[in-house]
Amino acid sequence: MLLSRQPKDKHLAPFIEAFWTCEVSNGRGLERVLPNGRTQLFINLHQDALHHFDDSGSVIQQASGMALQGPVETPIVIDRAEQRALCGVVFSVGAAFAIFGGKVSEVGSDLVDLNRLSWTDQWSLHERLRKARDAATRLDLLETAFSERIPLLQDWDIIVRQASIQLRMGVDVRAVSNQFETSQQTLIMRFRERTGLTPKTYSRIERLQQLVRNKRPETPWAEAALDAGFADQSHMVREFRRFAGVTPTEYLPTSEDQQNHIALHN
């Protein structure tokens, strides 16, 4: 079961897209997870460990049970066993930089222990989350923890956030840079610094996410591809394989509320 909500605190809204928590009863087997273009915080309440795997099941990344991960450009493989009691935060584009400072630029796509990012009471938070009486309370505890750390938005935070909205709508990088009266090179540099992705890669991931969100079983893939902004079906297939690791016809999400998760049979 997955429960997710936006911040209730309007001051957090520019920084956090969602707080979420999930509990998986059939916690066995590997899953491939599609990129979503966001920095995320993962908190494993069942055990003090988080891992990423290759397709064969060998561990390729390991961290403590509270770790930050920057946006990935290729699918990651996780174990359903680590979703028995898991919660986390999806940050708005560029917001993790504002909350954690320049250190987040060093995160990349690796899992990085939260204590390396100057979060001093992480295990106190972990214990409160673990003892929460229900999922809704867990989300409220997460929000309280971040309400105490609301940063001030700097000019470039605002520009990157606004640029991300334009890119999500399919506006090309040149037009976005012209809109903000800056060079493409400067926009690319600042966007990468704040988000971990180039504007073009972010745009491509957003287009795939739009396809996955809006595709209906009765809609042909060719039609869905055009609706999502792909040039044609072959373009969509190439991008799907690039970012999802499978073709559209091989795509089978584990559940309706976790469309970025694909069961991995090995």
Please name each of the domains of the chain with its CATH number: 2-147 (2.60.120), 155-245 (1.10.10.60)
Phi, psi angles (nearest 5°) of residue 265:
-100, 120
Query: Per the confidence metrics, is the pTM higher than 0.85?
Result: yes
Q: What is the mean pLDDT of residues 224-242?
A: 94
- For residue 116, name the pLDDT band (cuts at 50, 70, 90): confident
Tokens read off for 90 = 């999806």
Encode pLDDT of 201-213 as tens digits. 999 999 999 999 9
Q: Is the dihedral of CA 147, 86, 257, 221 positive or negative?
A: positive
- For residue 149, name the pLDDT band (cuts at 50, 70, 90): confident
Angle in degrees, CA 193, 195, 201, rounded to 5 = 105
Q: Residue type for 112, please?
A: V
